[in-house]
Structure 1
Amino acid sequence: MNADQIQSIARRTIELETASVAGLQAFLNEDFVKAVQAVYDSKGRLVVSGIGKSAIVAQKIVATLNSTGTPALYMHAADAIHGDLGMVQDSDVVMIISKSGESPEIKVLVPLIRNFGNTLIGMVGNDQSFLAKQSDIVLNTTVSKEACPNNLAPTSSTTAQMVMGDTLAVCLMELSGFNGQDFAKFHPGGNLGKRLYLRVRDLYVHNQRPSIGPDARLKEIIISISGSRLGVTAVVDDQQRVLGVITDGDLRRMLEKESNLQSIQAADIMTRNPKHIGPDELAIDALELLRTHDITQLVVIAPDNQYLGVLHLHDLIKEGLI
């Protein structure tokens, strides 16, 4: 098999699965609305179950729901009929995922859920199946053809299930007003969490706080900049309000132009109205500000223009935001 043949197979697979996903739009009917409303109105959790590949999809859907504000539990269909049914509480909604809707484990599990009296949602690829007929609400994920060349291995069908699960989760997010701050609560770890909760105040306080007065001479300026290892010093008045900043780059440019260095004062070479940020801003917003203006430091200023410190690009790099 040559490269062209491999690429052709890959393109065909993507085309078939894309068509399966697009076909779901026709199934966003009244039952879909009922499913969203049933989960939203529930005082309990959404318990999601399945067998085989559908069980793996169920786990992914549960993970998505939990991370976006909808309490959910995964229950394997085979384990359910051997004791795990105990996790289903009276107020829970149960969703069973199956392509055929006829698996032996599903046929055993469904009557048990019906006896419990829980609302049963069937996500099924056959609307004439046992599961579809026994469910209170049906989410139709029928596909015309699997991407598998033998039309056997779950490929298009599991993709359709995943997308239907995402659709359900996003609708529930919108209904509940789930926002970025809520998302951060459930994702405190890793770089994603840091992007959502890490703030400027968490970083700049670990740095030195270099500052000089507007009448500071060249030696004092150099010592202040080099001593902090931040490549910058703030120029402040007697009330610690920021008048400007001087960077090591400002010093180099000044030295290239000036020959009379004895009379140089901080006020002569400082950059007025420097780029700054507040302590409560997100660190990721600070990064965007640094990138936009192609700079490596930001002065951190309180609402009353009081000088608080310096945030350096390296602080963000150390936190893995870049």
Structure 2
Amino acid sequence: MKSKKSIIETAISTLKLESEAILNLLQHINEDFVKVVHAILKSKGRVIVTGIGKSAIIAQKIVATFNSTGTPAIFMHAADAVHGDLGMIQQDDIVICLSKSGNTPEIKLLAPLLKQSGNLLIGMLGSLNSDLAKQADLILNTTVEKEACPHNLAPTTSTTAQLAMGDALAICLLEEREFNTEDFARYHPGGSLGKRLYLKVGDLAAKNEKPSISPSASVKDVIIEISKNRLGAVVVIADEKILGVITDGDIRRMLENHTNIENITAADLMSINPKRIDKDELALLALELIKKNNITQLLVTTGDTYYGMVHLHDLLQEGII
């Protein structure tokens, strides 16, 4: 078993090699890269991404990134392509073929078939002298000096370069399409990511009670209202106008400073100009305001009208944090 120092050195060496490989891609962002972006933008079809072995796994990730950022894409395994899956390719589709060597048997068989069908063939490859390079209409060069594997065999640095090139392509397409957060939310409606992008403050406030009390209410009534609604606060309202808010912290501070509370009213306890947020704002903004102001709840309004309240716990339960 290697020493702790040796393990750390190997890990650092691996990361350095892979980071250098990514930086070396900068010199390969050229005219062909721009043509690939323009071709995909103009295409009426989909992007078919294919590969064999580890390149096939990277191809699947690139497809997932394309689909989630507005570029319709399908994964096609190179080995399956020649056994029937070529039927998934339609006339207007563009094909991106990933291969380090560009000379594997499956790729050498597949490339001419793709050319015969008339689809634009893009080679993301690590050898400009390969069979795939000769067949491809455009090339995304992901050449690396060596793999991180000490035997220079296991695809490591080369697949990292492919992954990074795929990300660069996806982000360029995203920006050219002016793909925004609303679009992203449509493609990611599930899970905490989706909620951060589409969940509105009003959706959360609607699930809670609307604790409110008159300015003349006694301390006892204030405590009962706060306890009953389990939001840690109550809004003071008169003539449907928000006057202020009383939190459980205000109650504690009042009890620390007063022994006689019989004549104290809600108006005496409330904090004026409470932090508030419109019901149509994103819940993510509510979280930012809560953090910024070091509070645990926000008043939710529609215009100047009291709509409800949202608590830090609501954001926790929805996975916004």
Q: TM (normalized to structure 2)?
A: 0.97
The reply to whether residue 259 of structure 1 matches residue 259 of structure 2 is: yes
1:25 maps to a residue whose letter is L
The reply to whether residue 316 of structure 1 matches residue 315 of structure 2 is: yes
Task: Quote the residue 2:92 is aligned against.
Answer: 91
Match of 2:259, SS state, is coil
2 CA distance for matches of 1:89 and 1:172? 21
**Superposition deviation, residue 153 in structure 1:** 1.3
The reply to whether residue 2 of structure 1 matches residue 3 of structure 2 is: yes
Write out the 4+ residue segments of structure 1 that deviate beyond 6 Å after TM superposition: none
Most deviating of 127-136 and 221-230: 221-230
How large is the Cα RMSD of the aligned pairs?
1.0
1 CA distance for matches of 2:223 and 2:13? 65
Task: Quote the residue 2:279 is aligned against.
Answer: 279
1 CA distance for matches of 2:102 and 2:230? 66
1 CA distance for matches of 2:10 and 2:210? 61
Match of 2:172, SS state, is helix
2 CA distance for matches of 1:57 and 1:107? 19
The reply to whether residue 142 of structure 1 matches residue 143 of structure 2 is: yes
Task: Quote the residue 1:38 is aligned against.
Answer: 39
Task: Quote the residue 2:241 is aligned against.
Answer: 241
**Superposition deviation, residue 251 in structure 1:** 1.3
1:116 maps to a residue whose letter is S
1:273 maps to a residue whose letter is N
Most deviating of 210-219 and 77-86: 210-219
2:34 maps to a residue whose letter is V
1:12-31 mapped onto 2 (5 Å cutoff) = 12-31=13-32
Match of 1:153, SS state, is coil
The reply to whether residue 231 of structure 1 matches residue 232 of structure 2 is: yes
1:103 maps to a residue whose letter is T
Task: Quote the residue 1:306 is aligned against.
Answer: 305
Match of 2:215, SS state, is coil
2 CA distance for matches of 1:254 and 1:309? 25
1:133-282 mapped onto 2 (5 Å cutoff) = 133-238=134-239, 240-282=240-282
Task: Quote the residue 1:68 is aligned against.
Answer: 69
Match of 1:49, SS state, is strand
2 CA distance for matches of 1:147 and 1:209? 60
1:164 maps to a residue whose letter is M
**Superposition deviation, residue 263 in structure 1:** 2.1
The reply to whether residue 48 of structure 1 matches residue 59 of structure 2 is: no
The reply to whether residue 121 of structure 1 matches residue 129 of structure 2 is: no
2:311 maps to a residue whose letter is H
**Superposition deviation, residue 62 in structure 1:** 0.3
Matched-pair identity in %: 59
**Superposition deviation, residue 315 in structure 1:** 1.0
Task: Quote the residue 2:295 is aligned against.
Answer: 295
**Superposition deviation, residue 321 in structure 1:** 2.2
Match of 1:191, SS state, is helix
**Superposition deviation, residue 260 in structure 1:** 3.6
The reply to whether residue 108 of structure 1 matches residue 109 of structure 2 is: yes
2 CA distance for matches of 1:171 and 1:274? 43
1:295 maps to a residue whose letter is I
Most deviating of 249-258 and 56-65: 249-258
1 CA distance for matches of 2:246 and 2:109? 75
2 CA distance for matches of 1:150 and 1:223? 72
**Superposition deviation, residue 215 in structure 1:** 1.9
Task: Quote the residue 1:81 is aligned against.
Answer: 82
Match of 1:271, SS state, is coil
Q: Give the unaligned 5+ runs of structure 2.
A: none
